[in-house]
Every structure is written in structure tokens, then in C-alpha cells.
């Protein structure tokens, strides 16, 4: 692991690091905020998964999360959204390839050698964090925006017991039923749609649900709302009678102005579960 930068931030440390990823078979970069409490021992961890076209840097610099995490004594990790580099497959479209990993393990060429973001987020990076930083492996929660919201919800529901709480900002809720999803799932996983199901939050909600608190915010003026399909997840939550808070925020769009407006709510929501 290499330290790219470390800066004092709200009396904690905002670092950026790179490492050779066994899952993705390339170097990966991530951001990690450690609150001052980490000087004295392990602290809870909140994962933030970013959306299409983002790197580790977008949420780290735009979401305003560190101030609220510092107040709550919680660490924040900002993984990249895909493998990158000259030897990594890519596509001219913004929504496939580098910057668009969709948090799946690709099985199809040319993506399968490197695009294993499911294993990276669920195994590779967690092991690295607990080995090298003051992180409590038993107190973790997860959130994300857009494609990252999709990843947060599907990881939480597929890995029971891993996360104490899950939230999402304008998540892609039903990728098997929308253009933001069918294109990527078929490219990465092939044409067998049964392989797609674990990566669809609405389908997973009906099948498994989540044994913990859920918070979801979507803007009523989100320019991508027809692709996000929040109504499918809301219907699945109602059908399963899953305890959840699902909010449509009036006037907000898909941008980081929306994310930062409700970040305090989400950090406080996770802190309640992480410090319980």
C-alpha cells in the first residue's frame, strides 16, 4: 500500500492510498477519513460507494461527509468505482467500462479479468482496511449515490450480518428493468438474466430484505428518475413490509448539491446503528 496524500481534516486525517488489488488485478485507489478517535483505538466504518463516471475523489471532496463523520467518531471509506489503467478494458460510452463498474464480478470478455468490484468492495478492500488502520470490522454500514446506491443496497442485502445499516441517495433501484442496468448487466454478466437478480435492489428486497434500518432519499426533480425507477423499490418495500424510510425530496436533482444537503441526516442515521 502507498500513501498518496494525508491531510488534517476536522481534527482527523483524510488520506488517499493506492494498493495492488488481488480482486481487480491492478492498482486501485481509495480515500479514507479517520476521525480523531481512531488515534485511541478502532472506530466504526461507513462505506460510501460513488456513481457513474466518479472516482474515489468525487464524494471525498463534494459530499461534505467528513464534518458529520468527525462529530460522530466514524471513519469513511471512498472506494473507486472501477478498475483503471492502460491494460484495463474500457468503452467509449460513459456508462460502461472504466468509471462504471456497477459493483459486480464480470464473467464476460473483455471485462472479466479486472472488473470484479463485488469482490473488491466485499473482500479485498475490507481486509486491507482492518489490517492497516484502526477500523472495527464488526461495526460497518454502507451508503452510496446512484450506481453506488445500487451497490450499497445489493451488497447489504446479499451479505447478511455484514452491515448494521444501509442508506442510498437516488439509487438505481431496478437495473434489470431499465436502460441503466440491462446494458451493463448483459455486458458484464452475459444474457442469463438469473445471474442479474442479486444485483437488483428491488428483486433482492422481495427475496431477502435487510435485517436492519434502511434510509433512501431521491430528488423529485432528478433528471434520471425514469432510469432510477424508485417506484419499484418502494413497491417491493411495501410488499415485504420491510421497515424503511423512503423519502422523495421536493425540488432536488441528481447532483452532489442534493447529496450534500442530506448527508448530515444519513451520517446521523448510520451513527445510531453503529454506536448501538
- Each residue's pLDDT tens digit, 13-53: 999 999 999 999 999 999 999 999 999 999 999 999 999 99
CB of 221 within 8 A of CB of 253?
Answer: yes
Closest CA to 117 of 134, 137, 100, 96: 100
Q: Is 222 a catalytic site residue?
A: yes
- pLDDT at residue number 217: 98
pLDDT at 178: 92
Distance (Å, whole) CA 222 – CA 236: 21
Beta bridge partners of residue 143, listed in sequence order: 48
Cβ neighbours of residue 50 closer than 8 Å, sequence gap 6 or more:
56, 58, 59, 78, 79, 80, 81, 144, 145, 146, 147, 148
Cis peptide before 212 (omega within 30 of 0): no
Nearest to 203 by CA among 188, 222, 185, 224: 185
Q: How far apart are CA 42 and CA 258, in angstroms?
A: 31
pLDDT for 214 equals 98
pTM over 0.95, yes/no: yes
pLDDT value of position 25:
98
Give the closest residue to 249 by CA, choosing from 237, 266, 232: 266
Q: How many CB atoms lie within 10 A of CB 254?
A: 21
Cell of 146: 446512484
Strand-pair partners of 71: none
pLDDT at 82: 98
pLDDT value at position 54? 98
Measured CA to CA, the distance from residue 68 to residue 266 in angstroms comes to 9
Mean pLDDT of 161-187: 97
Q: Which of 146, 165, 167, 202 is catalytic?
A: 146
| pLDDT value at residue 145 | 98
pLDDT in tens, 120-135: 999 999 999 999 999 9
Instruction: Please identify which of the residues 124, 200, 217, 222 carries the catalytic annotation.
Output: 222
Gap between the Cα atoms of 122 and 151, Å rounded:
11
* Alpha-carbon span 115 to 156, nearest angstrom: 20
Alpha-helix residue ranges (DSSP H) falling in 77-197: 117-119, 125-132, 147-158, 179-189
Determine what percent of the chain is predicted with pLDDT higher than 90: 99
Please enumerate in sequence order all residues whose Cβ is within 8 A of that of 58, keeping only pairs 6 or more positions apart, or say none.
Answer: 50, 256
pLDDT-derived band at 261 (thresholds 50, 70, 90) equals: very high
Alpha carbon distance 137, 179 (integer Å): 36
Which of the following CATH numbers is that of domain 2-274: 3.10.20.30, 3.30.70.590, 3.40.50.1820, 2.60.120.10? 3.40.50.1820
Please list, in sequence order, all residues whose beta carbon lies within 8 angstroms of the beta carbon of residue 180, skipping any fewer than 6 positions away.
95, 147, 172, 224, 227, 228
Q: Of 56, 76, 67, 64, give the one whose Cα is nearest residue 133.
A: 76
d(CA 96, CA 90): 7
Q: What is the pLDDT of residues 55-109, one digit of tens each?
A: 999 999 999 999 999 999 999 999 999 999 999 999 999 999 999 999 999 999 9
CA angle 171, 173, 179 (to 5 degrees): 100
> Known catalytic residue: 254?
yes
Break the chain into its structural domains and give their ranges.
Answer: 2-274
Contact 152, 47 (CB under 8 A): yes
What is the average pLDDT value for the chain, to the nearest integer?
98
Amino acid at each position: 500500500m502507498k500513501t498518496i496524500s494525508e491531510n488534517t481534516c476536522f481534527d482527523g486525517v483524510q488520506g488517499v492510498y493506492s494498493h495492488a488489488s488481488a480482486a481487480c488485478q491492478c492498482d486501485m485507489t481509495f480515500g479514507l477519513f479517520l476521525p480523531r478517535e481512531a488515534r485511541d483505538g478502532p472506530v466504526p466504518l461507513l462505506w460510501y460507494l460513488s456513481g457513474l463516471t466518479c472516482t474515489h475523489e468525487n464524494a471525498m471532496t463534494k459530499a461534505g461527509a467528513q464534518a458529520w463523520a468527525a462529530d460522530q467518531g466514524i471513519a469513511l471509506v471512498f472506494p473507486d468505482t472501477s478498475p483503471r489503467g492502460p491494460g484495463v478494458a474500457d468503452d467509449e460510452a460513459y456508462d460502461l467500462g472504466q468509471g462504471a463498474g456497477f459493483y459486480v464480478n464480470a464473467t464476460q470478455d473483455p471485462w472479466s479479468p479486472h472488473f470484479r468490484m463485488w469482490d473488491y468492495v466485499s473482500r479485498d478492500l475490507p481486509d486491507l482496511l482492518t489490517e492497516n488502520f484502526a477500523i472495527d470490522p464488526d461495526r460497518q454500514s454502507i451508503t452510496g449515490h446512484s450506481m453506488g446506491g445500487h451497490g450499497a443496497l445489493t451488497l447489504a442485502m446479499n451479505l447478511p450480518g455484514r452491515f448494521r445499516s444501509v442508506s442510498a441517495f437516488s439509487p438505481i433501484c431496478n437495473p434489470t428493468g431499465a436502460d441503466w442496468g440491462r446494458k451493463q448487466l448483459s455486458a458484464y454478466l452475459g444474457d442469463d438474466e438469473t445471474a442479474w437478480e442479486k444485483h437488483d435492489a428491488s428483486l433482492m428486497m422481495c427475496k431477502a430484505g435487510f435485517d436492519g434500518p434502511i434510509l433512501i432519499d431521491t430528488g423529485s426533480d432528478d433528471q434520471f428518475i425514469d432510469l432510477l425507477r424508485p417506484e419499484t423499490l418502494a413497491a417491493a418495500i411495501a410488499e415485504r413490509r420491510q421497515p424503511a424510510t423512503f423519502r422523495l425530496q421536493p425540488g432536488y436533482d441528481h447532483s452532489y448539491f442534493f447529496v450534500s444537503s442530506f448527508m448530515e441526516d444519513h451520517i446521523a442515521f448510520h451513527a445510531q446503528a453503529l454506536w448501538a
